[in-house]
Structure formats: C-alpha cells, structure tokens
C-alpha cells in the first residue's frame, strides 16, 4: 500500500461509492461496487489492499458479500449499510474496523 493515510483511503472509497450508487441502497450491489473500486484502488497505488469474497449471516440467513481487507487485517466494507450489527443497528454506509463476527471470509484476492 502506498503511504496515503487511511483517512484519505476512506474518503476515496466513500466518494467512489457515492459516485456509483448515488442515493440508491447498496443491497445486492457489493460486487459491482467492490470490483470496480478494487481496480481503481490498485491504479492509485493501494497494492496491499485485498478484495474479499465472503458470507454475512443475518437473522439465520447467509448472504454472499464482498469487502476489502487491509494489511493489518482490518476491513473496509463500502456497502455495509445493507446489514445490521448484533444490536440490530444498521451499519454505516462504509464500515471500517475489525471483521465482525457475522462476516466469514471465503476467498481473498
């Protein structure tokens, strides 16, 4: 990854998400957003960021999902707001932090 701070990376991801989704909900659009964004991030020099394919479990249902993993194993999920946390609160539009326990990694690219 280049030396740009995480604050700048989060702004790039947030702006990109808004550019693709506008005011639309991100439901079932995680691959569309993440695949296009992944190429853009690599172009910008974020070579250590990884695209992750996984599963998010909500209310006994499992949903295929995509997000990014940083070298320190924290994640950035640009379409997180389609899911809720353990307390039933909707996640932020762009989630940054530790991998939630209801996210399961299947493949890292």
Q: How confident is the model over 33-71, as pLDDT tens digits? A: 999 999 999 999 999 999 999 999 998 999 999 999 999
Q: How confident is the model over 6-41, as pLDDT tens digits? A: 899 999 999 999 999 999 999 999 999 999 999 999
Residue 5: per-residue pLDDT: 61
Q: What is the DSSP string of the chain?
A: --S--HHHHHHHHHHHHHHHHTTS--TT-HHHHHHHHHHHHHHTT-TT-EEEEEEEEETTEEEEEEEEE-TTS-EEETTGGGSB-TTSPBPPSSEEESPPTTEEEEEE-
Backbone angles phi, psi at 94, to 5 degrees: -120, 115
Total-model pTM: 0.92
């Amino acid at each position: 990854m280049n030396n740009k701070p995480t604050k700048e990376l989060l702004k790039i991801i947030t702006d990109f998400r808004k550019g693709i989704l506008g005011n639309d909900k991100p439901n079932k659009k995680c691959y569309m957003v993440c695949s296009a964004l992944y190429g853009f991030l690599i172009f910008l020099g974020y070579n250590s960021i990884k695209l992750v394919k996984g599963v998010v479990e909500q209310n006994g249902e499992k949903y295929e999902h995509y997000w990014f993993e940083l070298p320190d194993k924290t994640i950035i999920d640009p379409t997180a707001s389609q899911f809720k946390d353990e307390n039933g609160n909707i996640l932020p539009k762009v989630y940054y932090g530790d991998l939630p326990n209801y996210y399961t990694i299947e493949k890292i690219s």
